[in-house]
Structure formats: structure tokens, C-alpha cells
Structure 1
Amino acid sequence: MRCEIRHTTEYRYPKPAWDSFNEVRLHPSSEARQTVRSFHLHVEPEAAITSHKDYFGALVHHVHVHEAHTFLKIEAEALVDTHPVPDPAPVPVAELRGLRGGYTEFLVPSPRVPAGDWAEVFEVKRPAPGDDLPTFLMDLTTHLRRRFTYDTQATAVHTPLAEFARHGRGVCQDFTHAMLGVARQLGIPARYVSGYLYSGGSLLGAEATHAWAECFLPGTGWLGYDPTNDCLARERHVKIGHGREYSDVSPVRGTYYGGGRGELDVEVRVYGEQ
């Protein structure tokens, strides 16, 4: 599928702001499941832009507006071809033994996915060593989708996972953190993915950047599971990058002097063509 993406972030300040520094993670990743054909970053007013690759391999742009301004617009345009993702081969859960050394950072707790008995909290039946791992992960994806309600007004960026568990309502970030908590507790390497979703009107989470989990399957590698939509991450999912949790791959964050309390407006549009 060919996906055309336009992501616009606008800040408005009641007073002039200056020395605005923004860290921008909006460049889709280049990997086997997708090919980036083009990417353009437009900034208004004029800004100094540099880039580097972060610890997890994502391309990060740094946007610095030195002059005083009351309006800042960061617009990213990308054209990406996504490729079919084959179904994973069967593999018993027991094959996960011995993986820890190379995948520790995606097995241990992190600030937004703290230690806890998340399998019990989310009422997930633990798999037996002989159970099929891909089947368990797909069942977990379905379970989380059915247990919780997608509600864009229920949680905020910093809502703790335990609070989401209590109230049962949230967005893709919350669904994904829940899946990470369960998977890591059970010894399944799992990482947070930030990206885009071409909905076509049938999937949840396309109104902004989307999130899903990637879990490691011996013999297959990293495979994406989207608990918000109860599906594998296939051609409609465009990946930007991955990390331990949302904080590692937040799309745009920054600081500035002056300005007062600013207003933020974000618009994401994804057009798809088979």
C-alpha cells in the first residue's frame, strides 16, 4: 500500500516566544515492512534544522527558532510504501527461554510501564510452556480490545497505567502500555511503536499518531500487534520508531522562553492507495 502522510503541529502564544527548541520524531523508519519514498519537514517561521539518530535508530530532527514569534508551525509530509506482513510461524512459549541477554531493555520495567502483576490486573491467563506464542499474543490483543473502551477524552499523556486499568477507558497509548506490561511480565520482549494508521473509516486511532506493540517471536523476529484495533500491524500501519514506552518516541516535544501559556493544535491526515 502507498501511504501519503501529512502531520501538522501548530503552536500559538499570547506573547512573543523565543529560543524555541523542538525535538521532532516524525520521519517514518526504513525497514523490511516499509519503504520511505520521500520526506519533507516544513517549519514556519524560518528555523535551523539538524538531525541525528537516537539510541533506538529513529531519525530525530531538531528545530530551533531563535527569533521572537507568536506562531510556530511544524509540518511533516511523507510518502511511504508498506509491504505485506506474513503470518508468524508457530512457536512454543518455551522458546523464549534464554532470550533475556539480548532483549533486556524490552523486558524490564520502565517509568510508564512499571513493575506489577499486570497479567492478574488485566485478567490474562498465563500461557503454558507448550502453548503457541503467536496465538497467545493474538488472544491477548483481542482480550485488551474487548476489555477496554477507546475514549479520547478519558486519559492524558501522563495518565498512569494503573489508572487506565481502574477506569477501563483510554487511547492507543494506554492499550499499548497495557500490552507491554503483560508481555514483559511473562518474559516476552515487547516494545512501544509510534506511527501512523490509514483507517479508511474502519480502524481506531487514525486521527493522530497511532501506537501499537511489537513483540519478539523466535524464528520470526519483531511482529506488531495493535490492541486498540485487535489486529496485526500490517500494510495500514506506518511505523515511525520504537522504544520502551511513549516517552522514547513522542512525536514533538520542546521548550521555549517567554510566550506565556501557548495553545497546541495537531492534525494528522493519512491517504492510502492499494
Structure 2
Amino acid sequence: MKLQVRHKTTYRFDPPTRSMVQSLRLTPSAFEGQQINAWDITCDAGDCPVETGSSFTEGAGDHIMTVSVRGEVTEFTVTVTGEVETSDCSGVVKGLRDKVPPLAYLRQTTASWPNAVLKDLARDTLIDLGTAGVLQQAHALSKATSDALDFLPGETEASTSAAEAIGIGKGVCQDFTHVLIGMARASDIPARYVTGYLLSGSDGSAHEASHAWAELYVAGLGWVGFDAANECCPDERYIRLGSGFDAIDAAPIRGISVGEVDQEMLEELLVDVAVTQMQQ
């Protein structure tokens, strides 16, 4: 499937920042499930020049691009456009240049830390599976996550943890992913957070935002994706960007600003994502 992406992110600051450095994880991963036909990332900071720094592929196989801006920045825009050809690998990530040991992803973070409710849910989910393999266990944990949460925007925030989300019983893809990761790690299954794009949801409805899902490690098979929010494994509708321990670690755009900067300076954040299928 050929997918076309346009992703525009605009940050507006009041008062202006004095300078900033951004790390961009916005280039699709290189593996058997997807091929980049065209991809372009542009940054604009108004009258302030944008300098492109290092560009490299890090240990987890993600492509990182760094940019910096000097001067008083009132608005910073990152625009991504491109075309990616995808195929359905049943969620299995084949051929990714990944040098991080899977066991590293057993480490819990604040976002994924499982409380007693999550630990009990994970235990109860797996207890009836007996000697089932890790792949079956992973599917069961993903299904349990889907059953435990209702997809409802506006009920959680970017800082909401897995424990908080399971208490609310509602959330968005980030919450579903943190819950699944927390339960998987609590069950000794390495798991990581993945960011990317999605053409449409499981019901075929258009998906107008960046997306997130989990990958769990299965010995002999490798990393396998699970989108608990849509009750499926990633297929040709998905474009994979990068991964990390949680949403913060895997964020497509991360940065620091120089000067007396705090969250109150970020007056407005605008994100516009469009993923469309191209005619074959």
C-alpha cells in the first residue's frame, strides 16, 4: 500500500525563547515492512536561521535528525511530507537495524509502572494460559488491555501514567500502549513504545493524528507490534517512525530551549496530520 503523509507541528512561544535545539525522530524506520519512496523534513523559525546538525541512526534503529535555532524564537514549525510503501507483516518487525538487547526493555518507567491493579490484571490474564508461548501471552495481554479501557479522548493528559489510566478506565492510544507495556514487563516480556502514523482505525474511519502502539519481544520471532487501541497488530495501514521505553522517550520531536524557559512559555501547540492512500 502506498501512503502519503503530511505532518505539520507548530510551537508558539510567549515570551520568545532565546534559542532552541530539537531532536527529530520523524523519518520512517527501515525494515521489510515499509519502504520510503520520498521523504522531506523542513523546519522554519521565522526570521531566525535554522541550522541542521548531526543526522544518524541510533541503537534501536531509529533515524535521528538534530536542528538548532539561535535568536528569539516566537514560532517554530516542523513540516514532514513523504510517501511510504507498506506491506502487511502481521506485526512482525523484520530486518530492523536494532542493536539494543531486548532485555533492556524490561525496565519500567514512571509512565508504565504497574500498580497492584495492573499486576493483578496481567496475572489473571496469563494464569489460564498454562504453558502457552510468549506470542500467545502477548496477544492475551493486548486483548486484556483493549477490554479494560474505553477509547475516549479528553479524559487523560500527556503525563497520565498506565496506573492512572487503568483507574480511569478510559484513554487514547498513548494510554492503551503504556498499560500494555506495563503489564508485559511485569510478566517478564520485553516491551517498547512505538510512534508512527495510521491511515485508518479498525472500523475503517479516517485517522487524523499521529499514532502509538507497543512492540513485544518474542524469542525466535523478534519484535511484534500490538495496537491495543484498535485491537489488532500493525498492518499495511501503519507507518513506523521510532521506539523508546515510553511516550517521552519515543517522542517524534524532543527539544530544549535556552533561557528562562518553563511550560508557561509554550503559548500554543498546533499539530496537523494527514495520512492518505495513493492510487496504486
Fold match, TM over 0.5? Answer: yes
Maintained 8 Å contact 2:39/2:81: yes
> Which residue of 67, 70, 74 maps to 2:74?
70
Between the aligned residues of both structures, percent identity stands at 29
SS for the counterpart of 1:194 is strand
Report 1:7-22 matches (<5 A).
7-22=7-22
Shift in CA distance, 132/197, structure 1 to aligned 2, threshold 3 Å: same
> TM-score by structure 1 length?
0.85
CA shift at 1:203, angstroms?
5.6
CA shift at 1:163, angstroms?
1.0
Shift in CA distance, 116/205, structure 1 to aligned 2, threshold 3 Å: farther
Maintained 8 Å contact 1:204/1:228: no
Match of residue 226 from structure 1: 227
Matched, 1:189 2:193: no
SS for the counterpart of 1:106 is helix
Shift in CA distance, 258/149, structure 1 to aligned 2, threshold 3 Å: same
SS for the counterpart of 2:147 is helix
SS for the counterpart of 1:247 is coil
Alpha-carbon distance in structure 1 between the residues aligned to 2:206 and 2:106? 26
Alpha-carbon distance in structure 1 between the residues aligned to 2:158 and 2:17? 24
Choose 58-67 or 102-111, whichever is displaced more.
102-111
Matched, 1:4 2:8: no
Maintained 8 Å contact 2:34/2:86: yes
CA shift at 1:11, angstroms?
1.5
> Unaligned regions of 5+ residues in structure 1, if any?
89-100
Give the aligned residue type for 1:65: V
> Unaligned regions of 5+ residues in structure 2, if any?
93-99
Matched, 1:141 2:142: yes
Q: What is the aligned residue count?
A: 262
CA shift at 1:53, angstroms?
2.9
Alpha-carbon distance in structure 1 between the residues aligned to 2:245 and 2:90? 25
Match of residue 173 from structure 1: 174
CA shift at 1:258, angstroms?
6.4
Give the aligned residue type for 1:197: L
Match of residue 271 from structure 2: 266
Alpha-carbon distance in structure 2 between the residues aligned to 1:41 and 1:198? 20
Match of residue 95 from structure 2: none
Alpha-carbon distance in structure 1 between the residues aligned to 2:228 and 2:206? 11
Give the aligned residue type for 2:7: H
Match of residue 156 from structure 1: 157
Match of residue 50 from structure 2: 47
Choose 115-124 or 173-182, whichever is displaced more.
115-124
Shift in CA distance, 265/223, structure 1 to aligned 2, threshold 3 Å: same
Matched, 1:79 2:79: no
CA shift at 1:81, angstroms?
1.0
Shift in CA distance, 102/29, structure 1 to aligned 2, threshold 3 Å: closer
Shift in CA distance, 12/154, structure 1 to aligned 2, threshold 3 Å: same
